[in-house]
Structure 1
């Protein structure tokens, strides 16, 4: 389990402002939810144990997370021309996890993502033990799930992750 991270008060305010702006700009992703509890003086706070999930919603796989192989094992297996990092390692360092295939498909119900890029997704252990890994993209208005060697990396392949809080 990743170590919990703390934010300074000004960082919290900035993050919440950013999240509210995105929330307001993309109401179709969460129909029926709004910030009216706060606006009406309700002072909402966390009191339940349910999870709130944040997912990468950039139109294409995030640029700073492309050209990476699947995991540390794949990175270490490359003898030359190693990528800068791996998708699993980078997601874990952020305290997040790669999307599952089901999460990726659910994201695509909210919009059109990865129309020119692709994203590594969680791969079954048995497949990974054989050297493979899964990635997804959207082409021709269809969601595709593909396989590739986990050591592979491409300029247009990155990853999306989710963070449950």
Structure 2
């Protein structure tokens, strides 16, 4: 069980670091020229970020390092599970969409769930960057950050990967499907 102050117990921290290191070493194409020791040092210095990464892991996101920001010195993690994270599917887009549903409300919404985890939902640009690292969402789809003007009109955007192409679609923000979740990013 996690503590309420967003820190992991020592054994949870060690298990998560081992999982992240193993994934990092198995997927070097995602983070060429990045050294695990430097990533681990950043992680160990940031207990809240470890808590968020653990949430990403527990909900099926399989977070991995996908970049390094030269300006801020931060490592960038994305959910790298082959399909949209299982523990984050069947959510509508945001709280306004959830409130608008009169019947058959989903358990949660993507934006509030991401905020509670301490992560950001991927943008279209980030989603397309992720797809350069492998094939993701070949059977599922993922909500992405929707521009305010589209959201104001009741819509929300999602992406998937089919026929060798990333597709960008729209749907009513209140919709939810068993095969649609969301992917997140975290800077450490």
TM band (smaller chain): 0.7 to 0.9
- Aligned equivalents of 1:15 and 1:158: distance in 2? 23
Runs of at least 5 residues in structure 1 that lack an aligned partner in the other structure: 39-43
TM-score (norm 1): 0.88
Report what 1:55 is aligned to. Answer: 78
Runs of at least 5 residues in structure 2 that lack an aligned partner in the other structure: 46-70
- Aligned equivalents of 1:148 and 1:33: distance in 2? 38
Shift of residue 10, structure 1, vs aligned partner: 2.4
Q: Does 1:74 align with 2:75?
A: no
Task: Provide the secondary structure at the position in 2 that maps to 1:93.
Answer: helix
Give the root-mean-square deviation of aligned CA atoms. 2.1
Show structure 1 runs of 4+ deviating over 3 A: 44-49
Greater relative contact order, per chain length (Cα 8 Å cut-off, separation 6+): 1
Aligned pairs, number = 157
- Aligned equivalents of 2:6 and 2:79: distance in 1? 19
Shift of residue 34, structure 1, vs aligned partner: 3.4
- Aligned equivalents of 1:81 and 1:59: distance in 2? 28
TM-score (norm 2): 0.78
* Deviation sequence 1:13-71 (CA, Å, 0-9, x none): 22211110000111111122334x58xxxxx7449942211110000001111111000
Match of 2:176 among 153, 156, 159: 153
